Structures are given as structure tokens and as C-alpha cells.
């Protein structure tokens, strides 16, 4: 029997942001919206969040079947964030989640914000799909990392993304210095993200730790009306004392040698 495909479905970057949210057509192409409206089998991080997103899709691209009749499975906790993508996936769990595709139906892996499996759970499910010879089809949508990288003016030919930095102050300071050393040695821009409510504290910490001439990029609320992205030497960031409002918005941070 022909297997179904696993579609990777991106989501807008406004998860957890204050209403009014921009229309999904701002960031999701028609082909992505059409797939979202058609697919009956879903794997996601949180079923409630997915239903809220599909309601927004339904407003511009009517769903092929009622929201209540969709089959939605959640990624197990053990596969979330840090545990995911390490080593071989648990194939018993994977076969259950991928059962629709194994039975010949197209299915979706959804994200809460941006692309699934990029700074987001899901990599284990995708790895398992490859092992089970299920075709994987990524759909186009927004990625805060990619948008920040393009809009930073920093090195987009060579770059590295590091996920979240350590929360412990000492460990974070040493990680920031290590990323700074890396970009001075290689020229590659270095990127990371933080949970919104910690953004301001992280920025202040980075400004303490980094060299005055190192270039720092902060991109926040990308694709939203509040979208803001700046690349400046650390010393110029230090001179900006006003409240930055960063703690309410998803943000991406990057640094580079001058």
C-alpha cells in the first residue's frame, strides 16, 4: 500500500502575543493554507493551540471537515525541546503517531510558531518518518531565525544557531563570550533565542558581557505590526536606555565581529 506523506506545517509568529493578531494570509502562502484546510490527521505540541490556529485558517480557507472531526495527536512530553533530536527516535511511539501515513493517509506535523522541528519539537518524528520511508514535505511559512538573519545584515553565508542559552548567569556569560570568540575566529554570525519574558534581562546581560565593538542584532515581533530589528555595536546598544518592550515579544538575537 502506498504510504501517505508527512507535511510540515508552519505557524504564524504571533503565538502568545496580544490580540488583534495579523491575518494568517500575511505569513502563510495559499498552498500552505490549502493543505492546512485539507489535512485530516495532525500531530502537534498542543491540540488546543492547533485548533485556534485552524479556526483562523478556516476564516480565509474553509476547512474540508469540521474542526471537531480532525484527528489530533500531541507529541509526547519526552520529545519536547531538549530531549528531541538526540539519537535514534523511539520507534514504538513514532509508529503510533505516524499510523495515518503508514495506513496511506497524508498527515501533518504542526508548529506553535514558525517551522516544526526548527527550535521546536518534532525532529524525532521527522527522523522516524525517514526511517519508515514516509515522504516528508515541508510547507512554506515564517521562521523568526531566518527573517532575523536576513534582516540583520550580518553574515548570511556562514552562521550558527544555538537555541536557548543557559539560564545560570555564570554559565550564560561564559557561553556569550564563547560565541563572541567563535565569530571573531570564523566570521560566522552566531544566533540564539530566549523566552519573551526573559528577553530584556538577557539583552542587559549580553551588553555587560560582550566587547563594545561587537555587533549585536536584536529582532523582535518579526512579521507583526510591532516588528523591529536593529544591528548595532554593543556600545551603541548600551547608550539606549529607554524601555524596550522586548519582554512581550518573541525575539531573536545575533552577534558578529565588526
Q: Measured from the CB of residue 158, what is the shortest distance to its own copies in angstroms?
A: 6
- Kindly state whether residue 171 participates in binding its own copies, applying the rule CB under 8 A: no
Asked if 12 and 26 touch (Cβ cutoff 8 Å), the reply is: yes
Asked if 64 and 41 touch (Cβ cutoff 8 Å), the reply is: no
From the list 11, 27, 50, 218, which residue makes contact with its own copies (rule: CB under 8 A)? 27
Q: Distance between CA atoms of 133 and 112, rounded to whole angstroms? A: 26
- Kindly state whether residue 87 participates in binding its own copies, applying the rule CB under 8 A: yes
From the list 211, 232, 235, 248, which residue makes contact with its own copies (rule: CB under 8 A)? 232
Give me the residue label for grid cell 480532525.
Answer: 70
Q: Which helix (H) or strand (E) holds 9?
A: strand 6-9
- Kindly state whether residue 151 participates in binding its own copies, applying the rule CB under 8 A: yes
Span interacting with its own copies, options 47-55, 134-142, 166-174, 206-214, rule CB under 8 A: 134-142
Asked if 78 and 124 touch (Cβ cutoff 8 Å), the reply is: no
From the list 57, 113, 128, 218, which residue makes contact with its own copies (rule: CB under 8 A)? 128
Report the alpha-carbon angle 213-200-13, nearest 5.
105
Q: What is the four-CA torsion angle of 48, 54, 56, 60, rounded to 10 degrees?
A: -170
From the list 67, 153, 173, 205, which residue makes contact with its own copies (rule: CB under 8 A)? 153
- Kindly state whether residue 110 participates in binding its own copies, applying the rule CB under 8 A: no
- Kindly state whether residue 240 participates in binding its own copies, applying the rule CB under 8 A: no
Q: What is the four-CA torsion angle of 182, 80, 14, 216, rounded to 10 degrees?
A: -10
Residue window 55-74: x/- pattern of binding to its own copies, with contact defined by CB under 8 A: --------------------
From the list 16, 104, 163, 166, which residue makes contact with its own copies (rule: CB under 8 A)? 163
Chain centre to alpha carbon of residue 200: 19
Q: Distance between CA atoms of 188 and 193, rounded to whole angstroms? A: 17
Q: Measured from the CB of residue 96, what is the shortest distance to its own copies in angstroms?
A: 17
Binding site for its own copies (CB under 8 A): 8, 25-31, 81-82, 84-88, 115-120, 122-130, 136-138, 140-143, 145-163, 187-188, 222-223, 227, 229-232, 258
Amino acid at each position: 500500500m502506498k504510504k501517505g506523506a508527512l507535511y510540515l506545517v508552519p505557524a504564524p509568529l504571533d503565538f502568545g502575543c496580544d490580540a488583534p493578531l495579523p491575518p494568517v494570509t500575511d505569513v502563510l502562502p495559499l498552498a500552505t493554507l490549502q493543505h492546512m484546510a485539507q489535512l485530516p490527521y495532525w500531530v502537534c505540541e498542543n491540540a488546543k493551540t492547533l485548533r485556534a490556529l485552524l479556526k483562523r485558517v478556516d476564516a480565509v480557507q474553509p476547512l474540508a471537515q469540521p474542526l471537531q472531526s480532525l484527528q489530533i495527536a500531541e507529541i509526547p512530553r519526552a520529545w519536547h525541546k531538549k530531549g528531541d533530536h538526540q539519537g535514534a527516535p523511539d520507534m514504538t511511539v513514532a509508529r503510533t503517531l505516524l499510523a495515518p501515513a503508514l495506513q496511506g493517509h497524508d498527515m501533518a506535523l504542526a508548529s506553535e510558531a514558525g517551522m516544526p522541528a526548527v527550535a521546536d519539537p518534532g525532529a524525532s518524528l521527522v527522523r522516524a518518518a525517514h526511517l519508515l520511508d514516509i515522504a516528508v514535505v515541508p510547507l512554506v511559512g515564517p521562521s523568526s531565525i531566518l527573517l532575523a538573519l536576513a534582516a540583520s545584515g550580518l553574515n548570511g553565508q556562514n552562521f550558527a544557531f544555538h537555541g536557548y542559552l543557559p539560564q545560570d548567569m555564570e554559565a550564560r556569560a561564559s557561553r556569550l563570550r564563547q560565541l563572541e570568540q567563535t565569530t571573531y575566529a570564523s566570521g560566522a554570525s552566531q544566533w540564539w533565542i530566549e523566552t519573551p519574558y526573559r528577553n530584556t534581562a538577557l539583552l542587559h546581560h549580553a551588553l555587560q558581557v560582550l566587547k563594545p565593538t561587537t555587533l549585536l542584532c536584536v529582532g523582535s515581533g518579526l512579521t507583526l505590526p510591532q516588528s523591529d530589528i536593529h544591528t548595532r555595536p554593543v556600545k551603541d546598544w548600551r547608550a539606549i536606555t529607554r524601555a524596550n518592550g522586548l519582554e512581550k515579544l518573541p525575539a531573536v538575537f545575533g552577534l558578529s565581529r565588526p
